[in-house]
Chain A
Amino acid sequence: MPPGTEHAGSIYDLGYRPYDGPRLGRRHAVRTVYVESLRAAYGLGRRGASKVIPITLLVIGLLPAAVHLGIAAASRQDVDIVKPEDYSSFIEMIIALFVAAQAPELAGRDQRNRTLSLYFSRAIERRDYALAKLGALVSAMLVLTLVPQTVLFVGNAFTTTSALDYLRDEAPDIPRVLASSLLISGFCASVALAIASRTSRRAYATGGIIALFVMSAAIGGILDATVGRYGIMLSLFDLMTGATYWIFSAGHEYEVPTGLMFAAVVAITAVSVALVLRRYERIPA
């Protein structure tokens, strides 16, 4: 374009070219929303301020692994401070804060900007959109839970007296780590999205999610101490920990069967996913 012709008031005939390339349709559209949402969960492709909270939480989530490895390196002997089945309970507050901060970013933003009608009039269905958002948040949570455990695992292998022995002993834990991380990620993401998709107001959604996690833990603790041992089932944090112990077949101090806690996590996840799908089926666009 020659200089001096660039101003927004005029239209220049540069010739319209029709598009006759491929149209990749629904799967491509879903993948696009998924990738964009996953990046957005860590503030990638957004202004710098959007990265502060998710990246800070990711770094804090690494602290237990870092402390463990630091002590292991300094003591020059095998230490067993942070066990894999305990990791998620070490960072449970980080996990809750992450979904509280980022689920509204994924679910509320398009409602706030009223962009939904643009999505739903494109090659994507309401259900696809909901699943793409859910998938993106689950994936973001997997990063949050798996990165520290990977660091821990690799670090242990290096700092231990015999890496080979360590790998042989700990290999059976790898699928358990994956399974428990997936369970917790799916659970937190779907519960948080079920709340966050209800409102375009970020503050309400974030407050609601934090309140749910913190209040449920408080109420569960109180009921557990007063009414009966099943009161602990009301605490989302304890459900997550119990379900993890069940996956690891680990010893624990819960007075209810951890298998039951695992089942409760699965059931709550299923209900939350259904709520998210239903919300997006009905949301006006």
Chain B
Amino acid sequence: MAIVTTRGLSKRYPGATALDALDLEIEPGIVGLVGANGAGKSTLLKILLGLLEPTSGSASVLGFDALHERAALHQFVGYMPEHDCLPLDMTATEFVAHMAQVSGLPRGAARERTAETLRHVGLFEERYREMRGYSTGMKQRVKLAQALVHDPKIMLLDEPTNGLDPAGRDDMLDLVRRIGADFGISIIMSSHLLSEIERVCDHLVLIDAGRLVQSAPVATFTGETGVLVVEVDDGVDEFERRLTGNGLRAARQGQLVMVALDGAGAYDLIRDTAADLEVGLVKVEQRRQSLEDLFRQNENGHATRN
């Protein structure tokens, strides 16, 4: 059953359209919401949370209407906004426990789950200190913890790696992956970085200018392509000519040679050709399509449309 459904969902501002008749069905799992800045990602998340009213159309989350049944829905939703949202004069423990109670948890349970949740996101002794002294990474962890503390069924994370250094980014992505895969909580995570989505998510929703471009499992975008990438340490031109002479479809691309993988014989021919020419084979691997390619295709398509 779909956890998120939108029908003809539009959000228009004077002079701008953030969402344009968006029809969407999202299944449980870890879902990446990708698009350039201004594509409508944050607007979509806010409508799903009932924070924004759509201009037209409807959205439902976990079977609840996102606008009219939000009080019931919100007990089961966790939201991590993109922007700063922490009162820096409170400690992480006080703040997260307070938010747990506002989500409907009794006081005792709120305290207990706060301690557990902060441990899960990797905050230990510092949770008793005022948050004004926290690094960006620690603040992001608290933001994640307050979205997790009431054990939601679905979490909406808006650019969770925003502002993090590479190490912090890795930690945050691991955490998101863990929450989705091990804790069994569905996640919709927005990002403008495809590499992040590729790493964490099972499913990808690509939106552009408020319209749906693609919605499919991540694997379908990153499958093997039937092209071998070959790198040799010397004589690239000669190597490519010999391969073509031996009946392979080969093309040079920078210092690499792309070889179509037509049959099992291709590997042997590459090896033998390299041996004949006495050049070293640095790399022979199947090329995988990356989401970056897809994104580039989309952008090109967009450019030609305009």
Contacts and interface: CB of A to CB of B under 8 A. Distances in A.
A-side interface size class: 35 or more
B102 interface: yes
A12 B116 CA distance: 11
B74 A121 contact: yes
A122 B106 contact: no
Contacts of B125: 6
Most buried by B among A1, A13, A115: A115
Most buried by B among A19, A22, A119: A19
A90 B137 CA distance: 52
A11 B75 contact: no
A49 to B, nearest CB: 10
A121 B79 contact: yes
Contact of A28 (B85, B98, B101, B141): B101
A29 B102 contact: yes
A172 interface: no
A201 interface: no
Main secondary structure of the interface of A (DSSP, over half): loop
Interface in A121-153: 121-125
Contacts, number: 126
Nearest to A28: B104
Contact of A11 (B77, B85, B138, B174): B174
Interface in B108-136: 109, 113, 116, 119-126, 130
A23 B75 contact: yes
Contacts of A2: none
A71 B22 CA distance: 76
A265 to B, nearest CB: 33
Contacts of B175: 11
A46 interface: yes
Interface in A1-46: 1, 6-14, 16-19, 21-26, 28-29, 32-33, 36, 45-46
Given A6-B124, A121-B77, A113 B104 contact: no
18 contacts: A8-B123, A9-B122, A11-B120, A11-B121, A13-B182, A14-B116, A16-B120, A16-B183, A17-B116, A18-B183, A23-B103, A28-B106, A115-B85, A117-B46, A121-B74, A121-B79, A122-B99, A122-B102
